[in-house]
Amino acid sequence: MLELIFPLDFERLAEFRLLCEAMRKAGSGDTCVRDATFIYSRLFVELGYLAQVTNQPGYLTSDGVALFESSLGQPVTKVLADCRVLVPAPGGEFFCERFARHNAHLSGDFKSGQNRGAANSAVVRAQKQLVKESLQQAMLLPPEFYKKQDGSTMSDTESRQAILLIKNLDRCLKLPTRLTRQFTEGLVMDAGMAAAKYSEEQLMQFYFWLRNNRENPVVPKTTEKILAEFDKFFEVSRMSPSPEIKEQNITAT
């Protein structure tokens, strides 16, 4: 049986106190704590059901907003966002970090910490080989492939980092080894932009997330599609709870 984890000390949390104050100002008076408790608990229940469907614990979808507010009979989502119980997410959705932190197990595709750790370790172990392959692959592509968005030429380091990013995404998605003819100028440019914007540690955390969530129906199944909207998927990964593995001296240079 799935169990919802609710913070034992929720009444002492800053966001709950802000919610109580918002209820008092809205006219609840002496019942503000009771009203805030009901809203807070209903939110967690709604998020619990949604997590099993979306496989993204903590996300309150636009449809979820409608169902949640219908169950309460009042529009409270904005109030919860103002009180920092929820934070706005793209597409009219919201995210509850505290729920995600404690209830990752409610995800429909939940993997145990042991399984996630094994997947993350596999990503780390693959780095040395991928760095070697990236150097070899970078030498096979024509120089005109290594262009930035502004038309300038990538440095040797930047070009290898772009290829390494592509190879890591291919591997995390469990795709066949990419042939030289399957590299395109647009793909390399997108990879170069992402590699330049995010640190190696940030990208490693993204690989962990992608490796553990590649079966999720909302995750693209090609490297090209992920790189085309990399900032969006990186933000999703940042909000998703996952164990971290800290590995030193992983470099593309």
> What's the first-to-final CA gap in the chain, in angstroms?
49
pLDDT band at 126 (very low <50, low <70, confident <90, very high): confident
Scan for tokens 């030193």, then name that residue. Answer: 248
Question: Quick check: 80 pLDDT over 80?
Answer: yes
Q: 60 or 29: which carries more pLDDT confidence? A: 60
pLDDT of residue 249: 31
Cα gap 188→185, rounded to integer Å: 5
CA 81 from centroid of its chain's CA atoms: 20
What b/e string do you get for 125-160 counting C-beta neighbours within 10 Å, with b at 16 or more?
ebbeebbebbbebbeebeeebbbeeeeeebeeebbb
| Helix (H), strand (E) at residue 72 | helix 62-72
Show the tokens assigned to 62: 């636009």
The pair of structure tokens assigned to 251 is 């470099």
Place of tokens 């290594």: 146
Determine which helix (DSSP H) or strand (DSSP E) holds 151, and give its type and residue range.
Answer: none
Q: Identify which of 236, 243, 241, 234 has the alpha carbon closest to the alpha carbon of residue 101.
A: 241
Domains of the chain, by residue range, sit at 10-106, 113-239
Which position has the higher pLDDT, 118 or 9? 9
In which band, very low, low, confident or very high, does the pLDDT at 167 lie, cut at 50, 70 and 90? very high
At position 144, the amino acid (one-letter code) is E
Residue 122's Cα: distance from chain center in Å?
19
Token digits of residue 153: 């030429």
DSSP character for 93? E
H helices then E strands: how many in the chain?
A: 12, 3
- Please give the mean pLDDT across all residues of the chain: 85
Q: How many CB atoms lie within 10 A of CB 214?
A: 16
Higher pLDDT, 215 or 12: 12
- Helix segments in 85-229, DSSP class H: 97-102, 113-125, 127-140, 156-172, 185-197, 200-213, 223-228
219/242 Cα distance (integer angstroms):
16
- C-alpha–C-alpha distance, residues 7 and 97, integer Å: 12
- Cα separation, 161 vs 204, in Å, equals 13
Which of 133-142, 182-191, 202-211, 240-249 comes out lowest in average pLDDT?
Answer: 240-249
